């Protein structure tokens, strides 16, 4: 790989790392943020959700912006806005100010991320280089969440949770310089922004998550839960209709004509729904039941992170030898078994070492076998005109999955805990139930991947998918 390509890949990976880190860097700081800004446990979920919903909701519009404005211009705008809003979030004097700043961070990330991934797709076309680049990108995307837990815990215990936001500013300034120096801009295209499509997708997902959080807080019988849930379903249905009729949709429905791509998007959504929720619930167990500090709770994810990064160096050989579907199946089975066992360990209130240590490493290996193949399948045989939309969909599935999964499983937690001041046993039982819910999401991800990889019953259509994805499956 040429020197200039290494620099370009470093820019892309660094950009992806800071936006993924910011999805989790606040989690180990949640108790301290609650005390500092006087936020309840339920309202604290919005520290994560306000960022993720704006990120996932506007990603498709961000991908379209990159196509129309040019990717360098869009990437620069996203990084600059991300740095500014990170500074504002770190300075937040109130809960409301923090949540608005986090939502603006999400919007900035939605501009930068698809532009970066589209640059990767367009710049690394040779098979070996492309596979290596996607593996590194996927490893950072998957492991960034656990790295954020460690950094967030360190800053919270030894400096301040606000530093987790401030560090984005100097990183952003360096990235802006490198983008202007080494990234060539694509030619802007004439076209339209599918604003209605973007708004209905953002409002639909936000309504769904808001309804689930309301159900967790006050029960399913509340109209405050059912009305936003119904509105979310209607808005998402309207989004599909808009995309089907729009002259220039942010999500061309032709991207779903490939069952392998469709399975990759759905599988990613489901695995992240289960996987990311662990980053929220396991630190609660470590801090509230085992008495870990914020930093110690973050460090506890080192076996997960280390195993996941280690798989980055093995995944290419595994896919080459066994094929994408077999590697995906093995990884999802390993992740689901490890998560199931973890729920039993939490219920028993077992010590961290060796039980949880081994399980987190096992789950990290499983996750490390999943994300690179899913990314490759999601970009398989995508036309150049749809590169931005396809990269946007990959990230939409990732970010929306984390928000949706947490919203669903927080309702499981609240239903199981049954008290405003639970005992240690009640808390462990509720956390165990939530982790068990993660297993369900991971198993559904496995089912989605397997169903979408089955050969067609029609002989005329059996050969086309195999030809389209030759060299990947």
CB atoms within 10 A of CB 341: 18
Burial class (CB in 10 A: 0-12, 13-18, 19+), 45: buried
d(CA 183, CA 191): 23
**Domain covering 3-184+248-468 in this structure, CATH number:** 1.20.1250.20
Burial string for 22-32 (b: 16+ CB within 10 Å, else e) reads bbbbbbbbbbb
Q: Give the residue from 140, 444, 391, 110 showing the smallest Cα distance to 269.
A: 444
pLDDT at 316: 82
Angle at 44 between CA 86 and CA 216, to 5 degrees: 140
d(CA 405, CA 160): 28
Instruction: Report the run of H or E that residue 175 belongs to, with start and end.
Output: helix 168-182
d(CA 223, CA 220): 8
Going from N- to C-terminal start, the domains of the chain cover 3-184+248-468, 195-247
Helix axes of 324-347 and 259-288: crossing angle, nearest 10 degrees: 20
pLDDT in tens, the chain (473 residues): 567 788 889 999 999 889 888 878 888 888 789 889 988 767 787 888 888 888 877 877 787 788 788 888 999 999 999 999 999 999 999 999 999 999 999 999 989 987 888 788 778 878 788 878 887 887 787 677 778 888 999 999 999 999 999 999 999 999 999 999 888 876 666 667 778 888 898 889 888 888 887 887 777 877 888 999 999 999 999 999 998 998 888 788 888 888 888 899 999 999 999 988 888 889 889 988 999 988 998 899 889 988 988 887 788 889 889 988 899 999 999 999 999 999 999 999 988 989 899 999 999 999 889 988 888 888 777 877 777 677 778 878 887 888 889 889 988 988 888 777 788 899 999 999 999 999 999 999 999 988 887 765 554 444 444 333 333 33
213: Cβ contacts below 8 Å, ≥ 6 apart: 42, 45, 46, 49, 407, 410, 411
**155 and 163 Cβ atoms separated by less than 8 Å:** yes
Angle at 367 between CA 363 and CA 369, to 5 degrees: 120
pLDDT at 465: 40
d(CA 333, CA 327): 10
CB atoms within 10 A of CB 3: 7
- Tokens 């998550």 sit on residue: 209
pLDDT at 330: 95
164: Cβ contacts below 8 Å, ≥ 6 apart: 22, 25, 26, 29, 90, 148, 151, 152, 155, 156
Burial string for 306-336 (b: 16+ CB within 10 Å, else e) reads bbbbbbbeebeebbeeeebbbbbbbbbebbb
Q: Give the residue from 127, 118, 150, 164 showing the smallest Cα distance to 12.
A: 118
d(CA 103, CA 292): 30
pLDDT at 418: 73
Long-range CB pairs of 415-419, under 8 A, 24+ apart, other chains included: 415/216
Q: What is the DSSP letter of 352?
A: I
């Amino acid at each position: 790989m040429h020197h200039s390509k290494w620099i370009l890949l470093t820019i892309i990976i660094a950009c992806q790392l800071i936006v993924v880190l910011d999805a989790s860097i606040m989690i180990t700081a949640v108790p301290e943020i609650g005390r500092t800004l006087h936020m309840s446990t339920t309202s604290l979920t919005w520290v994560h959700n306000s960022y993720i919903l704006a990120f996932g909701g506007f990603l498709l519009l961000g991908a379209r912006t990159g196509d129309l404005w040019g990717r360098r211009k869009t990437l620069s705008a996203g990084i600059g806005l991300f740095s500014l809003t990170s500074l504002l979030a770190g300075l937040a004097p109130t809960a409301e100010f923090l949540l608005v700043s986090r939502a603006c961070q999400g919007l900035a990330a939605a501009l930068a991320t698809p532009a970066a991934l589209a640059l990767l797709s367009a710049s690394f076309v040779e098979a070996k280089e492309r596979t290596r680049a996607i593996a590194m990108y996927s490893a950072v995307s998957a492991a960034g969440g656990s790295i954020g837990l460690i950094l967030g815990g360190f800053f919270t215990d030894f400096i301040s949770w606000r530093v987790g936001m401030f560090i984005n500013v100097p990183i952003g300034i360096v990235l802006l310089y490198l983008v202007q120096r080494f990234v060539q801009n694509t030619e802007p295209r004439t076209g339209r922004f599918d604003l209605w499509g973007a708004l209905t997708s953002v409002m639909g997902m936000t309504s769904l998550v808001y309804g689930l959080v309301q159900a967790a807080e006050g029960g399913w019988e509340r109209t405050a839960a059912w009305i936003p849930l119904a509105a979310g379903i209607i808005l998402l249905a309207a989004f599909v209709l808009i995309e089907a009729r729009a002259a220039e949709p942010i999500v061309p429905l032709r991207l779903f004509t490939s069952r392998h791509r469709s399975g990759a998007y759905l599988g990613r959504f489901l695995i992240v729904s289960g996987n990311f929720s662990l980053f929220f619930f396991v630190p609660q167990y470590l801090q509230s039941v085992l008495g870990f500090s914020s930093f110690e709770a973050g460090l506890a994810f080192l076996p997960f992170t280390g195993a996941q990064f280690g798989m980055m160096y093995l995944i290419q050989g595994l896919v080459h030898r066994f094929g994408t579907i077999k590697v995906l199946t093995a990884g999802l089975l390993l992740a689901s078994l490890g998560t199931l066992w973890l729920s039993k360990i939490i219920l028993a209130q077992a010590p961290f070492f060796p039980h949880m240590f081994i399980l987190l490493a096992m789950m990290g290996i499983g996750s490390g076998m999943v994300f690179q193949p899913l990314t490759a399948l999601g970009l398989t045989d995508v036309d150049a005109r749809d590169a931005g939309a396809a990269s946007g969909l990959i990230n939409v599935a990732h970010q929306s999955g984390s928000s949706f999964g947490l919203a669903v499983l927080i309702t499981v937690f609240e239903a199981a805990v049954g008290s405003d001041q639970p005992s240690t046993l009640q808390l462990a039982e509720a956390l165990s139930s939530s982790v068990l819910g993660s297993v369900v999401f991971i198993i559904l991800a496995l089912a989605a991947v397997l169903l979408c990889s089955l050969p067609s019953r029609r002989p005329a259509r059996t050969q086309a998918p195999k030809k389209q994805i030759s060299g990947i499956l």
